[in-house]
A and B are shown apart, each in its own frame.
Chain A
Amino acid sequence: GNSVTQMEGPVTLSEEAFLTINCTYTATGYPSLFWYVQYPGEGLQLLLKATKADDKGSNKGFEATYRKETTSFHLEKGSVQVSDSAVYFCALSDRWSNQGGKLIFGQGTELSVKP
């Protein structure tokens, strides 16, 4: 079945450090891939997405490239800020699913950025 695996947290970085959160997936069809973020005390919100192979999603300085050959969608940011502290979820939505855009989530990675 479809699944998403992301690196375990928590990840602790100093401000301005480089961030990578690894995400790999297993899917039977041609999924769309997403990164959602959950800031402390807030709801889930979309950070970025990519809908086909080699697409790059980007937002707020974060980037992720849809790599079909390695079934990966790693999240990167060149210089993190304290305000980036949150839990990050990688997710997929499978084109062939009869459940519409049902999202399958990874387990989440908590990021803590220290000043």
Chain B
Amino acid sequence: GAGVSQSPSNKVTEKGKDVELRCDPISGHTALYWYRQSLGQGLEFLIYFQGNSAPDKSGLPSDRFSAERTGGSVSTLTIQRTQQEDSAVYLCASSLGGGRSDTQYFGPGTRLTVL
């Protein structure tokens, strides 16, 4: 079946612009995660959605970052007023439930470059 998809695969933007990154999870998966992979910080958790519950935003690095998940499916990560330190690969993952032992399936990522 279809895996997790993300778009765009690459995004180049200028400092100060807003960007939107999209994630389509595996159908039927109730849990959705965003992570960031950068050279300096490795793989970091950003935000977690579970069903219709309020998202856990504790990993978002600043208030310029926000995310939503519509209809319990597609998610959008928005970065406002991008900075050069936001350059990274943004990964989305989904799992069947939100349990600690559930396998997370990752998308291919969106590579964001802020000039």
Contact = CB atoms under 8 A, between A and B. Distances in A.
Interface of A: 31-32, 36, 42-46, 49, 51, 89, 91, 93-95, 97-108
Contacts of B108: 42-43
B99 A43 contact: no
A32 B91 contact: no
B70 interface: no
Interface of B: 31, 33, 35, 42-45, 48, 50, 56, 58-59, 91, 93, 95, 98-109
A65 to B, nearest CB: 16
Given A43-B91, A98-B56, A103 B42 contact: no
Given A32-B101, A101-B95, 20 more contacts: A36-B106, A42-B108, A43-B91, A43-B107, A49-B103, A51-B101, A94-B100, A97-B100, A98-B56, A100-B31, A100-B33, A100-B99, A101-B99, A101-B104, A102-B33, A103-B33, A103-B104, A104-B45, A105-B42, A108-B42
B56 A99 contact: yes
Contact of B104 (A42, A46, A95, A108): A46
Nearest to A102: B45
A107 B41 CA distance: 8
A99 B104 contact: no
Contacts of A94: 100
Given A100-B48, A102-B48, A95 B100 contact: yes
Contacts of B93: 44
A105 B102 CA distance: 15
A89 B43 CA distance: 9
Contacts of A103: 33, 35, 43, 45, 104
